[in-house]
Amino acid sequence: MRDWCQGWFADMARDDQAERDMVTLASDSNSGRDPGADAGRLNDAVLWHARLRQDASAESTWIEFAVWLEADNDNRAAFDLVEDLYFALEEAEPHLTPMIDIVRDSSVVSFGAWRTARPFLVRIGALGLGLMAASLLVVIGVRSGDVGGRADHYATGIGEKRTVALADGSTIEMNTDSAIMVVFGQGQRKVALEHGEAVFRVGKDPSRPFLVTVGDRDVRDVGTVFNILSDSGRIVVTVADGKIAVSPHDAADLAARPTAVGLVAGDQLTIQAGHADAVRRIDPAIAMAWREGYLTYKEAPLSLVVSDLNRYFPNRIVLQDSDTGLRRFSGALKVDNEEAVISRLTQLLPLLADRSGDGVITLRLKPQKD
């Protein structure tokens, strides 16, 4: 089919000088804009772009895409080239529609339809005939829906924080050891929180709901402020302003739990495998205290505190046994450096800290006095 498209463009290019100019332009620009990728890489980029445009794209798909994108700089260059073409196709779509409809129904393209679309194809030709042929197939196959936007990946290292400003005016404040994927298009605003924690300040745009995929859930919003934590199979969603809806991401889960959970300011939803979803009222400032350098807890098991701290520091903290992990902690921990945090914990709780040669810190309960 791809060979047919390439041959079709070549036949059209022989009609007159304008078409020959298109071929020359494509050839010249290919040498200057080639992302350094072979045909297989370019084809992969086209397929990834199509997959990410689908509403049913799961978090696992986004993660796979991130791995592919970061594996080679040429992959990113190829994907950027595909996006450039899609934006050009968006402008040309009214003129391409007659051809697309005919191509879908037959193997014959009318000369009139070709003449109408030709000026736009000359411009698009600058992006490469091979890419045009491959991408036209994707347009024909998944033409319904909005044109996909650029996909960007952001991450923070251990101990690092970062604020990402989005094109719509929204901002994402990322906590330590976090990763997100952002895809914005004409009719969609999508973010995948792959792991970690972030505060989302969503710009109001009722025509484009803001969708965050985290684990097996979708968080939908049109303009509000909320915090999401995803760590070790636990998802915690806290609303600071406005309201959001949280629903299962997979169709199978939707059948079992068809009703979305509505959350308003002050609500916190906790999702964890093996436990029922729980909603409670909370001061949102507690969940978002990490932005000021604090972790705040109320009757939290020490195992949860340690899990949080391990996202902040390079030296791993472990618990000697399950009894130690069940110890409850209430208070605010200033997260500045690991030694200071461990010192505060051992002062606030009956704990001892043992350090091994490889840097691992083991917390254990102090022996009880007779």
Residue 234 and residue 201 share a domain: yes
Distance CA 115, CA 137 (A): 20
For residues 230 and 271, state if they share a domain: yes
**How crowded is residue 104: how many other Cβ atoms within 10 Å of its Cβ?**
10
Same domain, 240 and 304: no
Are residues 100 and 30 located together in one domain of the fold? Answer: yes
The verdict on residue 328 lying in a domain is yes
Tokens 């040669």 appear where?
357
Q: Which of 186, 153, 184 is nearest to 65 (CA)?
A: 153
121, 141, 161 - which closes a domain:
141
State residue 130's pLDDT score. 45
CATH number of the domain at 270, please: 2.60.120.1440
For the entire predicted model, the pTM comes to 0.60
User: CB-hemisphere CA count at 13 Å for 161?
Assistant: 14
Q: pLDDT tens digits, the chain, 370 residues: what are they?
A: 334 344 433 444 444 444 444 333 334 444 444 434 456 677 777 777 777 765 445 666 777 777 777 777 788 777 777 766 766 665 555 555 444 444 444 444 444 444 444 444 444 444 444 444 444 444 433 333 344 456 789 999 999 999 999 988 999 999 999 999 998 876 778 999 999 999 999 988 877 889 999 988 999 987 799 999 999 889 999 999 999 999 887 644 444 444 688 999 999 999 988 888 999 999 999 999 999 999 999 899 999 999 999 999 999 999 999 999 999 999 999 999 999 999 999 999 999 999 998 889 999 999 877 6
Same structural domain for residues 136 and 13? yes
Residue 370 falls within a domain, yes or no?
no
Q: Which tokens sit at 44? A: 């992969």
Look at residue 287 and tell me if it is in a domain.
no
Distance CA 155, CA 177 (A): 7
Torsion of CA 236, 238, 243, 244, to 10 degrees: -20
Backbone angles phi, psi at 52, to 5 degrees: -75, -15
pLDDT at 88: 60
Rounded-to-integer distance, Cα 278 and Cα 246, Å: 12
- In angstroms, the CA 70 to CA 64 distance is 10
Q: Tell me the β-bridge partners of 180.
A: 154, 193
Determine the angle formed by the axes of helices 129-141 and 39-52, rounding to 10 degrees.
30
> Count of CB atoms within 10 A of residue 259's CB?
9
- E strand or H helix that includes residue 287: helix 284-287
Please give the helix or strand (H or E) that residue 165 lies within, else none: strand 162-165
> What are residue 271's DSSP bridge partners?
235
pLDDT at residue 87 in the model:
61
Give me the pLDDT at residue 92, please.
55
| Separation between Cα atoms, residue 339 and residue 234, nearest integer Å | 27
Per-residue model confidence (pLDDT) at position 310: 94
List the end-to-end C-alpha distance of the chain, in Å, as a whole number.
Answer: 83
Distance CA 316, CA 359 (A): 7
Range of the domain at 337: 293-365
Number of domains in the chain: 3
d(CA 204, CA 252): 31
Q: What is the pLDDT of residue 79?
A: 76
Q: What is the pLDDT of residue 209?
A: 85
Domain identity same for 37 and 109: yes
